[in-house]
Amino acid sequence: MTRILTLLTALLLAPLAAFAQAKPEVAKASMAAKRAWESAPAEKKALWLQHREALKHVDLSDDTQRQVVIARGTREASAYHAHPTTAMLADNKTIFCVWNIGHGGHAGPMARSIDAGLTWTRMDDVLPPNYVNFKNCPSLYRLTDPQGKERLWVFAARTLTDKEKPKLIEGRHEGFMPRIVSEDDGKTWRELPPIGGRISKEDPFRNIMTFSSVVRLKDGSTLGMFHRGSGIGEEGTLQVLQSVTRDGGFTWSEPLVACDGTKLDGKHPCEPYVFRSPDGKELCCLMRENRRSGASLVMFSRDEGQTWSRATDAPWGLTGDRHHGIRLPDGRMVIVFRNASPQSKDKGSGKANPASIA
């Protein structure tokens, strides 16, 4: 558990927490969570209190022996390191980490550890030149094709537009879901054309964030889940979509809506995290609820993602943003996320992300 918490919160440093607290969207989220508590029916409040009191509260934020700094940021936007994701190779020692500069900003940094996260080396210089023009939450996955070949993939939401002053590269790719791939365990990387087309409202792969999670299906294919708004940005409600790759990440199926906010009484589902149940028979998907109307959302599938149950409130203790998890050797799940629970004991403290164990 110590290593899990270290890796998944490695970039959350005190200066960044202070910077995040000052950001308008974080302040709005805190106020919305407070309103959700104040306006909740007595029944709902009682349930949330029951959930809260049943949880143990352990603060590891001051235990620096558990922390490994990958990139130390400051309050300046140009040095705000955000949204890290990691992938470990089959050797259980080599880990890669990617992130972006600024909140939802451009990609560029990558680091590698060959000792299970104790020390890190930056490797920005080996990445394709157009990678710095990838925008918003680059996500890193190790995908296996039907022949058993493993590859590392990095996907992002989209490329920078001309208005965003991209790095000018002759013949550079543009579009939704740009990507790079390594076929030699991260030693070399190359860019492929984006999964989606040119940036437009009509593109089926338009998104706010690229695949925020993937899961291996029983037939050997991989299901990826992402979210989008009703337009190019976040206006209107939000939708969670899914797409399947059957060749290890090269081609992806036409996206299908897995959870539609327009059918959830105004709730805004986003940032899906999908994982398999211990018995292997069911998929569970946790989702951030971006209106902060109460708890996060959860839905289930017993047919490998072909259909999903109607999204309902997740337990209070799992309420937050961009859930990620890992299964412990004893079968338990550790879920890490940014806390957004109404009436939380540590909401807005600037401390490290909470973790729930099931």
Which position has the higher pLDDT, 48 or 353?
48
pLDDT in tens, 109-136: 999 999 999 999 999 999 999 999 999 9
pLDDT score of 12 more than 60: no
Residue recorded with tokens 């999670």: 213
3-state secondary structure of 176: strand
Percentage above 70 pLDDT, the chain: 86
pLDDT score of 356 more than 60: no
Q: What CATH number corresponds to the domain at position 194?
A: 2.115.10.20
What span, in angstroms and rounded, lies between the C-alpha atoms of 276 and 229?
Answer: 26
pLDDT score of 24 more than 70: no
Report the first-to-last Cα separation within the chain, whole angstroms. 13
3-state secondary structure of 326: strand
User: Exposed, middle or buried, 15 (CB in 10 Å: 0-12/13-18/19+)?
Assistant: middle
Per-residue pLDDT averaged across 83-94, rounded? 95
Chain-wide mean pLDDT for the chain?
87
pLDDT for position 322 = 93
**To the nearest 10°, the Cα dihedral for 223, 209, 8, 107?**
120
Count structural domains, the chain. 1
In this prediction, residue 205 has a pLDDT band, given cuts at 50, 70 and 90, of very high
pLDDT score of 330 more than 80: yes
pLDDT score of 311 more than 50: yes
Select from 222, 279, 234 the least CA-distant residue to 261. Answer: 234
pLDDT in tens, 242-298: 999 999 999 999 999 999 998 898 799 999 999 999 999 999 999 999 988 899 999
Q: Which structural domain range is residue 307 located in?
A: 2-357
